Chains A and B, each alone.
Chain A
Amino acid sequence: MSKHANLERRRQAIYGWLLLTPAAILLSTFAFYPSLATLFSSLFSRGTRRNPAEFVGGENYSDLFADPTFWLVVKNNLFYAGITIPVSIFIALAMALWANSKISARGFVRTAYFTPTVLPMIAAANLWLFFYTPGLGVLDQIGALFGLPSVNWLGQPETALWAIIIVTIWKEAGFFMIFYLAALQTIPADLKEAADIEGASRWTYTRRIVLPLLMPTTLFIMVNAMINSVKLIDHLFILTKGGPSDASKLILYYIWEMAFAFFDAPHAAAMTIMVLLVLGIVAAIQFFYIDKRTHYQ
């Protein structure tokens, strides 16, 4: 019997690893190995005809720290995250509360909120280009109705990043709404009844009962939003290319530019490592803090 169990255990182990092999190979090839290779290449200088590549230790990192553009880009990205995360979560919550209440045209409202989610970021950027173009664009035309001067939304350092942020929020909010909507539908109806009997106002009910119950969802959305604030940069390629004077440049765009436009892979690698570190911290928060509440089954 125990011999049989032993055999069975060994069989399971072999099966397990066999089943995992294809995924493990690809994950190693496109996630783990590249991460290590990035770390490695961030420690070497770029080879050119005059100066062959050599080990330089932390020099690429200190170059970046001395590069004002790098700090500007970091600042931009923090600002981008700092605005898009709370605002899109707030709008998503409002959308979900509305889409879950008894209002007229609810089907239309839900569809309208969710539609941007299925569009490519590139297409979204094209749509918004029509809004932002100075003189010809929708925003300027609306402004002109009220006698406002033409504004070059994408061409001014003060507004370019905001223009980018608005597109991101527009794209994200509907997606996050879905998660809130699902969570709202799991709240038992008798809680609402009980609150009504107690004479609690709608605001009190929302604040004291709904929001706390939505907390795990909010945290889940927040992690997603944080990842997106690194990842969502496609619209930069259409709208601003990071300009004017780097005012709307985000870190992943800068990595791309460094590696593929300036052909400076080592500095791009150094930046990549820093981004991975930040994502690692987000991951740690997810694993050790949030998972305690919304546990994986």
Chain B
Amino acid sequence: MGFSKTTGAILSGATAIGLSLSAAAKAETELTMYYPIAVGGALTEVVDGIVADFEVANPDIKVNAIYSGNYDDTRVRALSALNSGEPAQLAVMFSIDAYDLIEQDIIVPFDDVVTSDADKAWLNGFYPALMANGQIEGKTWGIPFQRSTIVAYYNKDMFRDAGLDPEKAPTTWDEMISMGKALTKGDTYGIMIPSTGYPYWMFQALAIQNGKELMAGDGLTTYFDDPKVVETLEFWQSLSTEHDIMPTGTVEWGTLRQAFLEGQTAMMWHSTGNLTAVKKNASFDFGVAMLPGNERLGSPTGGGNFYLFKDTTDEEKEAAMKLIQFMTSPEQAAAWSIATGYMGVSPAAYETEALKSYTAEFPPALVARNQLEHAVAEFSTFETARVRDGLNNAIQSALTGAKSAQDALSEAQASAKRLLAAYQ
């Protein structure tokens, strides 16, 4: 970091003393956890509820769960706190921040704290696809918590009105276009794919479906200017320029759910984390489907993982592990999934009574999970925020018509190369 190392050391030393003093005085361990919320709904209450349950079960541990905005905000908040010597033992942050967190040397791999056989079994209990982003250099740095894939929400009433089968969402790009055309009329668009907030995420889904990954597994190589990738962006552009089934310009991530609920679009692609909010507020019959494919089906995983910060005492690490294990236990994962729409992070979660009966009554809650077999790790590299920013800009300039897909992606590739050169 740019801030003085010695100061950091002095401060962390001071903090450690301060903490051990207060720990001795209170005989309890205090944890500070930062967490984000990236989709709609009063999810802070849900998190507060889980934390309260945890504190009841573990009276010797006190947890300060601090909601701190979206994923980017949360990374900023947690790292500012660490840099200022404020205590923070764990955080839920973007699953794709792992490379940078490792590079800044502020997190520890879970392999170091997971020692007992039971713990190891726990670590192996998650869906492998959800572990992918957190496994780097042979170690596990992130534990899945609020994890998602992109799913397609569609308005069944509009499908009926357009003479389409309401039980059949498009499964290929071609179907998506033809159905989209049938659904577009007046003030209603056929489909909206959000292009602010997390445009690279949607783009990655399209690229996978088109048979090409955006990055290699080493965090050092990107393929933005690959012909297949350029073709993907041109396809996205064509939805509005050629086929007129999506608005021109960018589609707002944050207000898309409301637009869907207001009937401005017949289909939307969004995080499965929106599912419960859509279910609660939809005044019409809606369906949820896997994303359509072109060469293959596919969606990146997404969302937040637990990370454990380096600068913590053994007691704190132990307490933090208890908290993480509690929050990812099958029962809690099931409750969390029902409350939000995020996935249950382990197969065991889907074996709980609660989630079994919920998904029996509301099958859309299974779509994201079922899509996991087609899912790939979310886009992530070293210097990920800036590389991603370049890709986001390229996507947005192509969609707004400011640049051609080829030019925009070549520029993004060039700047990614420049940024990653330092890590080669």
A and B touch in the complex (CB under 8 A): yes
Near A by CB (< 8 A), chain B positions 116-157 give none
In-complex Cβ contact of B103 among A50, A243, A245 (8 A):
A50
> Interface digits, B379-390 against A, CB 8 Å rule (1 contact, 0 not)?
000010110000
Residues in A with CB closer than 8 Å to B383 are 262
Q: Which residues of B contact A75 (CB under 8 A)?
A: none
Evaluate contact between A265 and B250: CB separation under 8 angstroms: no
Q: Does A234 contact B (CB under 8 A)?
A: no
Determine if A155 and B249 form an interchain contact, defined as CB atoms under 8 angstroms apart: yes
Chain A 36-53, CB-CB to B under 8 Å as 1, else 0, gives: 000001001011111101
* Nearest neighbor of B102 in chain A, beta-carbon distance: A49
Interface string of B235-277 (1 = CB under 8 A from A): 0000000000001111110010011001010000000000000
Chain B nearest CB, measured from A59 CB (Å): 12
CB neighbours of B396 from chain A (8 A): 157, 243-245
**Quick one: given A47-B2, A152-B247, are A245 and B400 in contact (CB under 8 Å)?**
yes
**Are B255 and A46 neighbours in the complex by a CB distance under 8 Å?**
no
Query: Is B1 a contact of A134 with CB atoms below 8 Å?
Result: no
A261 is an interface residue with CB less than 8 A from chain B: yes
Determine the residue in chain A with the shortest Cβ distance to B72.
Answer: A261
**Residue among B196, B251, B385, B415 making CB contact with A261, cutoff 8 Å:** B385
Report whether A49 and B103 are in contact in the complex, using a CB–CB cutoff of 8 Å. yes
Cα A149 to Cα B103 in complex, Å, equals 48
Q: Is there an interface contact between B402 and A245, defined as CB atoms closer than 8 Å?
A: yes
Residues of B within 8 A of A269 (CB): 2
Q: Which of A51, A243, A261, A265 contacts B2 (CB 8 A)?
A: A265
Known A50-B103, A265-B3: A244·B72 in contact at CB below 8 Å? no
B251 CB, nearest partner CB in chain A, Å: 8
CA distance A157 to B80 in the complex (A): 31
Shortest CB distance A36–B (Å):
14
Known: A46-B2, A51-B422. A262 touches B385 (CB 8 A): yes
Residues of B within 8 A of A266 (CB): 2
Known: A50-B423, A133-B255, A245-B400. A152 touches B250 (CB 8 A): yes
The answer to whether A244 and B104 touch across the interface, beta carbons within 8 angstroms, is no
Question: Distance (Å) between the CB of B291 and the closest chain A CB?
Answer: 23
| Contact residues of B between 1 and 25, Cβ < 8 Å to A | 1-3, 5
A76 cross-chain contacts in B, Cβ below 8 A: none
Residues of A close to B248: CB separation below 8 A: 152
Interface flags for A111-143 (1: CB within 8 Å of B; 0: not) read 000000000000000000000011110000000
Interface membership of B111, Cβ < 8 A: no
- Which residues of chain A are within 8 angstroms of B415 by Cβ–Cβ distance? 68
Name A264's contact: one of B2, B102, B249, B402 (CB within 8 Å): B2
- Which residues of chain A have C-beta atoms less than 8 A from B187's C-beta? 135
Question: What is the minimal beta-carbon distance from A89 to any residue of chain B, in angstroms?
Answer: 31
Q: Does B105 contact A (CB under 8 A)?
A: yes
A150 engages B247 (CB within 8 Å): yes
Summed over the interface, the residue pairs from A and B with CB atoms below 8 Å come to a total of 92
A156 at the interface (CB under 8 A from B): yes
A residues 154-179 with Cβ under 8 Å of B? 155-157
Interfacial residues of chain A within 85-131, with CB under 8 A of chain B in the complex:
none
Nearest chain A CB to B97's CB is how many angstroms away? 11
Q: With A and B bound together, what is the CA distance between A48 and B99 in angstroms?
A: 12
Q: Within the assembled complex, what's the spacing in Å between the Cα atoms of A126 and B251? A: 19
- A263 part of interface (Cβ distance < 8 Å): yes
- Whether A47 pairs with B5 at a CB distance below 8 angstroms is yes
The smallest C-beta distance from A121 to any residue of chain B, in angstroms, reads: 18
Whether A71 is near chain B, meaning CB under 8 Å from some CB there, is no
Chain B residues whose CB sits within 8 angstroms of the CB of A55 once the complex forms:
none
| CB atoms of B250 and A244 under 8 A apart | yes
What residue in chain A is nearest B5 (Cβ atoms)?
A47
Cβ A155 vs Cβ B2 within 8 A: no
Q: Which residue of A lies closest to B76 (CB)?
A: A260
A262 touches B1 (CB 8 A): no
Complex Cα distance, B422 from A266, in Å, reads 15
Q: Name the one of B2, B72, B258 contacting A41, with C-beta atoms under 8 angstroms.
A: B2
Q: Are B397 and A245 in contact (CB under 8 A)?
A: yes
Contact A245 B393 (CB under 8 A): yes
How distant is the Cα of A262 from the Cα of B76 in the complex, in angstroms?
9
Nearest-CB distance from A214 to chain B (Å)?
Answer: 41
In the complex, whether B394 has a CB less than 8 A from a CB of chain A is yes
**5 closest residue pairs by CB, A with B:** A265-B2, A245-B393, A155-B250, A244-B396, A152-B249
* 14 A–B contacts from the bound complex (CB under 8 Å): A46-B1, A49-B105, A50-B422, A51-B422, A136-B255, A152-B247, A155-B249, A243-B396, A244-B196, A244-B393, A245-B396, A245-B397, A260-B80, A263-B79
Chain B residues within 8 Å of A, Cβ to Cβ: 1-3, 5, 72, 75-76, 79-80, 100, 102-105, 187, 196, 247-252, 255, 258-259, 262, 264, 383, 385-386, 392-394, 396-397, 400, 402, 411, 415, 422-423
- Residues of chain A touching chain B, judged by Cβ–Cβ distance below 8 Å, are 41, 44, 46-51, 53, 68, 133-136, 150, 152, 155-157, 243-247, 259-266, 268-269
